Structure 1
Amino acid sequence: MSDGRRRGVAWLVCGRRTKWLVLLVWVLVIFALAPLAQKLGGAQDNDATSWLPGSAESTQVLQISREFRPETVPAVVIYERPGGLTAQDRHTIADDAEQIKPLREHGIRGAETRGPFYNSAQDPRAALILIPVTVDERGWDELSAAVDTIRDETGSGDGLKVYITGPAGTSADFAKTFEGIDSTLLVAALGVVIVALLITYRSPTLLLVPVLSVVGALLTAQAIIYLLAEYAGLTVNGQSAGILTVLVFGAGTDYALLLVARYREELRRHEDRHEAMALALHRAGPAVLASGATVGMGMLVLLVAEMNSTSGLGPVCAIGVLVAVLAMVTLFPALLVILGRWIFWPVVPHFGSAEPTEQGFWARIGGRIARRPRAVWVTTAVILAALSFGMLGLRAAGISNADAFTETKESITGQQVSERYFPAGSGDPLLIVADQGAAREVGRVVAGTPGVVPQSLGVPPGSAPEHEGRVLFEATMTDPADSGAAKDTVERVRDAVHAVPGADAKVGGGTAALLDADTASTRDNIVVIPLVLLVVLIILTMLLRALVAPLVLIATVVLSYATALGISALAFRHVFDYAGEDTAFPLFVFVFLVALGIDYNIFLSTRVREESFRQGTRRGTLTALAATGAVITSAGLVLAGTFAALGTLPLTGFSEIGFAVAVGVLLDTFIVRSVLVTALFLDIGPRMWWPHRLAREDGPPRAGSPPAQPVP
């Protein structure tokens, strides 16, 4: 697009009449879509099949098992009196079991209730009742309601303790945790943004404009995603919906900060605010669009992931970022121009006033780096590399249910009590399907596999013993269903049954699903990470029209990522005392840090390129750092703060992602972009632009040279 056409597009947004048209269109869109945005929570799919790969063995078993019986999730009621159950306790437990059997509420299959089972016939201290709960399209909501009903039907007293646990109890606790996730994250992110903007702008009036624009972008994105989930099969779950809120707030506010910074510059140079905004958009727009494209394309790479939850996250986040970009280059500038200069009160940028960044903090930092740039970047790189060795302490092999929450839940306490008295895998058995002719041999090898309770093998209640030549039966494991030892048992059972001739046997169940998720996530880490790097490299090459600079920038972001993982691993082990990380943790952190962290390099390097046409690479680098330093620092603080808001949720996985991304963004903002990249540009000089002609000249362009591409 030519220079003149770009200015024409900018004038469409902030023209004297067209600004009102832009505002009207956005108001109509937001009012029309806001009701749909509120429905996104109801469109979430948090069932196991929506998270797992369709090709996973556990997913296949789940689909086959539905031919035998409705899909069920077991709830486990645990009774405990450490000093021994009394006769009255036994009477209470038996009455509870009888009261549950007639129930038909919320999918409770009371007639198929098993138990009570006692840990000892002579001196029982605990009892267990198994209650199948049918899962329908409402998923977690149904399980949560069923658990509440079971809790109402069971009682404790006089020292008898009762816990609702098992897969249904744990799922209900997760459901209640996710229940208010959208509002919690919205309030936390909004609070971070307001505080950061108030500190940055020092204006109580100006901060309202980006906040309103970001909220409008979020509502629009949520409505679009709801429509795609409802009518186009897009998978949305609690995880992707929560990250969407944080991402739109963080990225949208970043773009607002960058545009305002350039608008301030132009207001000091032009008396007409419409012309000032047109020039600000004309020069800052390409970098904002490139940033949005980088993030959006990076997120869409997640579509190649095997995990449904990961592949679904890609389009959700891409839509959120692209809508945020659209709002920040249309609605936001239109609002600023409509409101006029007074919106900057009390620090109003008057026409003809001096530009403060020319002699500011970052100008002085640049001057110090320029004295010995090679020593600066080598020292910085060595320190970052040393910190990255901390990632050797990462334990990204999955986390158990007990470690998934940052606070104690009833289901977790109940699980621990159950493990003291009963086989640890009680309530979450293996599911095995096999051809009928080989069923006896399959049962024999399963019962003989270490880690399986031999006497637990049997046909689950409510399932036909044979369906179209296949059988379905269960087996209880000796280890907790979400433990590494239980996953090892699944692998042994699979190896054993797969070796039975003609059995066509498959092993599923909750533990098998966890194992398949770990396997898929490990594969996704290997496949997706290089693809994201390739996409970002291509976009940088097209934007900067060079090869050396994109490769250098990619290397700095990868180093920043490794350092963030190293620092996070040390903090998780020695500060927060987390037991481990989810298998997908490295991938999520990588995608967010590379896609978002590269933004700051884009904002700096495109400004360096613009200034290099006028002043040469060395002087252009210092000018670019002085001009963009404050705004990029503010943007980094906002983005880090919004991701840190994930720590307000009582979920270890969210807290870990939020902490690691926040650390990485702060590293990018204060160290990588401001020190490392600046020093590299100063040391490598014009060779950064190879093979562009800028690589052959280090000074103002020759007469007749084309003007620089206008970027911020």
Structure 2
Amino acid sequence: MTGGRGRWTATLIAVVVVLGWLVIGGIAGPYSGKLGEVATNDNAAFLPTDAEATRAQDLAAGFVEKETTPALVVYERTSGITPADEQRVQADAARFAQLPGVVSPLPPPIVSQDRQAVQVVVPIDAAEGEQIRQVVDELRDIVGPDRDGLTVNVAGPAGLLGDLIEVFTAIDGPLLLVTLVVVLIILLIVYRSPVLWIFPLLAAGMSYSLASVFVYYLAKNDVIKLNGQAQGILTVLVFGAGTDYALLLIARYREELHRHHRPWDAMKTAWRGAASAIIASGTTVIVSLLCLLLSSLNSNRALGPVAALGIAATLLVMLTFLPALLVLGGRWAFWPRTPRQDQADPQADGIWSRIAGFVARRSRAVWLVTAVALAALTLGLSQLGATTLGQSDLFTSRTDSVAGQEVIARHYPAGTGSPATVFTTQATAQQVAQVAQDVPGVASVRPLTQQGQAGPPDPNAQPKVVDGRVELQVTLADPPDSDGAEQTIRDLREAVHKVPGSDSVVGGFTAINVDTAAASTRDRNVIIPVVLVVIAVILALLLRALLAPVLLIATVVLSFLATLGLCALIFKYLLGFPGVDQSFPLFAFVFLVALGIDYNIFLMSRVREESVKRGTRAGVLSGLAVTGGVITSAGIVLAATFSALAVLPLVVLVELGVAVAVGVLLDTIVVRSLLVPALAYDIGPKIWWPSRLSRTSREGDRAGTEVGHAR
């Protein structure tokens, strides 16, 4: 297209694209606020399908008319429970039994041996997590505030689940608002323009709306599972990655506006130059996230496709809607720093040109020192205690369920109200019960009787038999979410499995935690190697080399380990967290490696492009000088958006947000700015082995060395 006709045609195309996306955005926008309607936060739904605790749940269904989740309402008066307190407990229990969703009759209240506490077990119909939360809220409304020294808390599995769902249902508003504010502030600082920040933020919002539509309908039709954790990560991932892609395209567009008169021509060249890196980056993240489908945990499998859909929607929007917006905006969008057609070389001066010169002069020393420094940070891994966080450690604040569990631990065998269950044959039931009683950490063992209660209160009561099996309820001495209780479950399983012919199966709340932790370890050992292989293949195709991808992956893995080591020190000594959840290393790896490799893709794809024209060493310096500013800005944006997870009062998400923020900053400031370019410069053309580029451009390479020393 030439002349005025070409200009008008290009403008018309851009207008049609923008209007089309605005229509889509108008339809899709409301769905971002409806994701909570299709989210499920029932932890039991995320059990490994082949776990022993899952089989126990299936067996338990035959022993009860309805599957229930217990809420434990605990009353405490340190001076001793009074007759008036007991009357209040009885009155409250009668009201509990009348609530919709509560399975009656309720077991009688349990007074502690020191007579300082009373506990009421309230079985709740376990149909859906949201229904459980509503019943828990009604229980808390009934008991009301503390009175005259009598404290009341609602704890147990239902209380914990209620608190978790309350946190997740609040994700949409605060997290989205904080993310938008963070991105806005950084874009204003980066561009120093009253106009330009609108374009990437509008495109990121469009990406989130589009992703929300697909996630909503797929979750509504049970194609994928959406939980609060995946919902929160989707928000920060789309805005963080979307802004990254936008920064890269806008920087290349600004660069080409110095070389082209018409914005349309500048965008065509910029799109061709940046699209391959953006597509490779997005594809790497998508495929890495989809590797979570290999997980045996439904919770991990839920996150993979949800986050991958977010990145796919972001790629589509950033490569269509954003370019059209920028073409319509033209040069004035950059006001007051308007780029002019002056053939200016963007790398001629500036801080990144000086950094490139420093890397050239001290390349071997730079990569050796940075590699040793990162290796030193990995020593912090010794402080990273991978544990299943207990209920009292799960939240950053002290919730009602946490306070209630602390009361229970003070006055009862801590496992009261949330017993382990053992299903065994009728013929071996007595022997299994005796073996279970002898396991350290077991407070009591009682069979489920015909009346449907753990007993027998009547010594002559007969155990309930279903399909030749008996259910034993095992009360643990330790809190059900503690390390001690989990070890007791492992010991209990080992003991009862040895009873000949018992075919024993152990389940319950603590057993779910044990099986989830084991599945997390298995997932980590399986998924991490697969992700590395996938990334290596994508890098090899993009860079048309084998040595460069291996070195890039090695640097990112080193950065990942250094991040975990540094985070271990931050969590323990700065934030005071007791450890990390079993899922943390896997999630941190997927996000840090997939997102961290992005910056190496942005850098090395430009380095290869420049190496073809200038030689490898000159290409390294040119690529670093040109991309340094934009990649650093992109890293800061992504780090800041993931830091927004800190507004949620959940230790797991706070830790993930801190880890991604720290890791991304390490990648952008140390790995991509110093380690990778210094290593590539020191190796020279061989970095592209076995491609033809590794055997050419010797003269350009020597020239690049001279230029580097002259910077």
Counterparts of 1:314-353 in structure 2, within 5 Å, are 314-352=304-342
Report the CA distance shift for 1:12/1:400 in structure 2 as closer, same or farther (over 3 A). Answer: farther
Distance 1:489 1:631 in 2: 53
Q: Greater shift after overlay, 64-73 or 158-167?
A: 64-73
Deviations 1:593-651 (A, max 9, x none): 11000011011111111111111111111111110000000000000001111111111
CA drift of 1:698 comes to 2.8
Structure 2 residue corresponding to 1:91, chosen from 87, 93, 117 = 87
CA drift of 1:475 comes to 1.6
SS at match of 1:16: helix
Deviations 1:169-205 (A, max 9, x none): 1111111111211222211111111011111111121
Which residue is 1:127 aligned to?
Answer: 118
Which residue is 2:571 aligned to?
Answer: 572
Report the CA distance shift for 1:492/1:112 in structure 2 as closer, same or farther (over 3 A). Answer: farther
Which residue is 1:592 aligned to?
Answer: 591
Which residue is 1:272 aligned to?
Answer: 262
CA drift of 1:399 comes to 0.9
Counterparts of 1:636-655 in structure 2, within 5 Å, are 636-655=635-654
Structure 2 residue corresponding to 1:67, chosen from 62, 65, 71 = 62
Which residue is 2:169 aligned to?
Answer: 179
SS at match of 2:466: coil
1:678 partner letter: P
The answer as to whether partners of 1:384 and 1:563 remain within 8 angstroms in 2 is yes
Which residue is 2:664 aligned to?
Answer: 665
2:165 partner letter: A
After TM superposition, the score normalised by the length of structure 1 is 0.93
Distance 2:439 2:447 in 1: 12
CA drift of 1:92 comes to 1.7
1:80 partner letter: E
Which residue is 1:500 aligned to?
Answer: 499
Distance 2:215 2:350 in 1: 43
SS at match of 1:83: coil
Distance 2:593 2:532 in 1: 8
Deviations 1:563-600 (A, max 9, x none): 10111001111111100100111111111011000011
Distance 1:154 1:339 in 2: 60
2:102 partner letter: I
Distance 1:440 1:27 in 2: 70
Report the CA distance shift for 1:459/1:631 in structure 2 as closer, same or farther (over 3 A). Answer: farther
Structure 2 residue corresponding to 1:116, chosen from 109, 115, 124 = 109
Report the CA distance shift for 1:236/1:461 in structure 2 as closer, same or farther (over 3 A). Answer: farther
Which residue is 2:456 aligned to?
Answer: none
Report the CA distance shift for 1:693/1:460 in structure 2 as closer, same or farther (over 3 A). Answer: farther
1:131 partner letter: V
Report the CA distance shift for 1:364/1:587 in structure 2 as closer, same or farther (over 3 A). Answer: same
Distance 2:143 2:614 in 1: 78
Which residue is 2:469 aligned to?
Answer: 470
Which residue is 1:558 aligned to?
Answer: 557
Report the CA distance shift for 1:422/1:49 in structure 2 as closer, same or farther (over 3 A). Answer: closer
Which residue is 2:420 aligned to?
Answer: 430
CA drift of 1:462 comes to 4.5
Counterparts of 1:23-422 in structure 2, within 5 Å, are 23-69=18-64, 70-101=66-97, 103-105=98-100, 107-109=101-103, 111-120=104-113, 124-136=115-127, 138-139=128-129, 141-155=130-144, 156-352=146-342, 354-422=344-412
Distance 1:60 1:188 in 2: 42
1:244 partner letter: L
CA drift of 1:436 comes to 3.1
Which residue is 2:706 aligned to?
Answer: none
Distance 1:357 1:409 in 2: 54
Distance 2:162 2:269 in 1: 54
After TM superposition, the score normalised by the length of structure 2 is 0.93
CA drift of 1:456 comes to 4.9
1:317 partner letter: A
Distance 2:397 2:311 in 1: 32
SS at match of 1:476: strand
Distance 1:151 1:456 in 2: 30
Distance 1:353 1:613 in 2: 20
Structure 1: tracts of 5 or more residues without a match: 5-10, 703-712
Report the CA distance shift for 1:380/1:190 in structure 2 as closer, same or farther (over 3 A). Answer: same
Distance 1:559 1:395 in 2: 20
Q: Greater shift after overlay, 654-663 or 92-101?
A: 92-101
CA drift of 1:701 comes to 8.3
> Given the alignment of the two structures, is residue 696 of structure 1 paired with residue 692 of structure 2, yes or no?
no
Which residue is 1:706 aligned to?
Answer: none
Distance 2:171 2:409 in 1: 31
Q: Greater shift after overlay, 692-701 or 586-595?
A: 692-701
Deviations 1:335-382 (A, max 9, x none): 111222211111111222634442010000110111121011111111
Distance 1:352 1:315 in 2: 46
> Given the alignment of the two structures, is residue 607 of structure 1 paired with residue 606 of structure 2, yes or no?
yes
Distance 1:376 1:41 in 2: 49
Distance 1:691 1:135 in 2: 60
Distance 2:18 2:492 in 1: 62
Distance 2:108 2:194 in 1: 64
> Given the alignment of the two structures, is residue 528 of structure 1 paired with residue 521 of structure 2, yes or no?
no
CA drift of 1:322 comes to 1.1
Report the CA distance shift for 1:13/1:326 in structure 2 as closer, same or farther (over 3 A). Answer: farther
Which residue is 1:709 aligned to?
Answer: none
The answer as to whether partners of 1:612 and 1:700 remain within 8 angstroms in 2 is no
Deviations 1:283-321 (A, max 9, x none): 111110000111111111111111111122111111111
1:149 partner letter: E
Give the total of aligned pairs. 686
Q: Greater shift after overlay, 194-203 or 354-363?
A: 354-363
CA drift of 1:554 comes to 0.6
Q: Greater shift after overlay, 446-455 or 361-370?
A: 446-455
Distance 2:625 2:633 in 1: 14
Distance 1:691 1:353 in 2: 35
SS at match of 1:291: helix
Identity %: 47
2:381 partner letter: M
SS at match of 2:11: coil
Runs ≥4 residues deviating over 4 A: 11-14, 459-464, 699-702
CA drift of 1:12 comes to 14
SS at match of 2:121: strand
Distance 2:619 2:409 in 1: 66
The answer as to whether partners of 1:13 and 1:22 remain within 8 angstroms in 2 is no
Distance 1:432 1:28 in 2: 57
Report the CA distance shift for 1:517/1:455 in structure 2 as closer, same or farther (over 3 A). Answer: closer
